[in-house]
Amino acid sequence: MQELTTPASRRASGESGGRLHETWPDIAKGIGILLVVYGHVARGIEKAGLPIDPVFFKTLDALIYAFHMPLFFFVSGYLFWGSVQARGYRAVLPGRMVLLIWLYVIWSVVHGAVEVMLGRLTNGALQWTDVFALWVPRAHFWYLYALALLVLVTSAFAWVPKRYQALALFAFAAVFFTTPGLGTGWYPLLAVGWHLIYFAAGFMLAASRVDGVRFRSHSMVLYVFWVALAIAWVSLAAPEGLPKLTAAVAGILLATVASFFLAQSSLLVSRSLAFLGSIALPIYLAHILAGSGMRIVLHKGLGVDLVWLHLVLGLVAGVLLPWAFWIVTKRLGQGWLWSLPGRGGLTWNLVHRSKA
């Protein structure tokens, strides 16, 4: 599974040589993972009853949650296109599904077990029965669950001629977005309905590149047309979903454009965000434990109620402690926390740094 160990900058085009070295996906993931950590730290502070300003909290919370996870799905779809073009669906799908399921099960259990054992110190009241009810995704691990479903659905379009594959997927996603769950309320169908449109938009953007390498004005105009048409369709078929979609699209657009511009520079902020994007996996999987731990130490251990200090130190802990834990566990031979057992150097990035 070479694709899981090759940087995104070398896999973006899906070609075996002479690839376009793209760093913007890692930068976008760096932006996204910072928003994820901050969002959970802030929500933990609010839930713990600390005196955070309600207007500040609600405004920033609404802005972040409008697009940060759609951004991850978008980048994931963008990079997944490169994988299937380079190796084909039959080579990519089995390993990808097994790995996503593995990470979902392992971290749902590990994270849940810690929550149960430290229940009296945290904001939750989790039971052991909740930990092992894996058919119902909980906490932030719903992302792995949903991503596995999106990969599976996307692979079902392998029979479509390559030229029309991305557009067919995007059209299907736009229609399904207006009828999530098909009226059943079944979570797998809901997850596909809610998130596939962003994954498919990224997939279609990657497919819009000329020769899989560069963007041309005519291809981008056509891409914008299809996205606008999808938004128009949602406004007619399910107007209640339009605010959610437009907010997510606006956030994705802003983050993507910013990432493109930052990728052209060698500024410290560009390199830092790209680095954070490259280690998004350990941060995403372990950041709540780290951030909650910092809040417990500050609030219950030291009696500190300064919200700004909780926000800053919670964000720092949520980023640096998972990174340190990732390094230490790998050196101690416990790489099974991040990859399939017995696969040595096989590592997986949150939105497929080496694919998605």
- Could you report the per-residue pLDDT of 5-44, keeping only the tens digit for each? 334 544 444 443 334 458 999 999 999 999 999 999 999 9
Instruction: Please count the structural domains in the chain.
Output: 1
% of the chain with per-residue pLDDT over 90:
74
Q: What is the pLDDT of residues 170-181, one digit of tens each?
A: 999 999 999 988
Distance, in Å, from the CA atom of 334 to the CA atom of 330, rounded to the nearest integer, reads 5
Cα 145 to Cα 35, 107, 149, 188, 224, distances in angstroms: 20, 12, 7, 9, 29
Confidence of residue 182 (pLDDT cuts 50, 70, 90): confident
- Beta-strand runs (E) in the chain: none
Q: pLDDT: is 350 or 148 the higher one?
A: 148
pLDDT digits (tens, 9 = 90+) for 114-171: 888 877 666 667 788 888 989 989 899 999 999 999 999 999 999 999 999 999 999 9
Domain-embedded: residue 298: yes
CA distance 11 to 177: 29
Residue 346 lies in a domain: no
d(CA 5, CA 354): 6
Report residue 210: phi and psi, to 5°: -75, 125
Q: Is residue 168 part of a domain?
A: yes
pLDDT at 154: 97
Q: Find the angle CA(340)-CA(344)-CA(347) to the nearest 5 degrees.
A: 60
Of 99-103, 105-109, 217-221, 268-272, the poorest mean pLDDT is in 217-221
- Global pTM reads 0.89
Asked if residue 78 is part of any domain, the answer here is yes
**H/E element holding 213?**
none
Exposure class string for 225-246: b at 16+ Cβ within 10 A, else e: ebbeebeeebeeeeeebbebbe
- Tell me if 344 is assigned to some domain: no
Structural domain boundaries, residue 166: 2-337
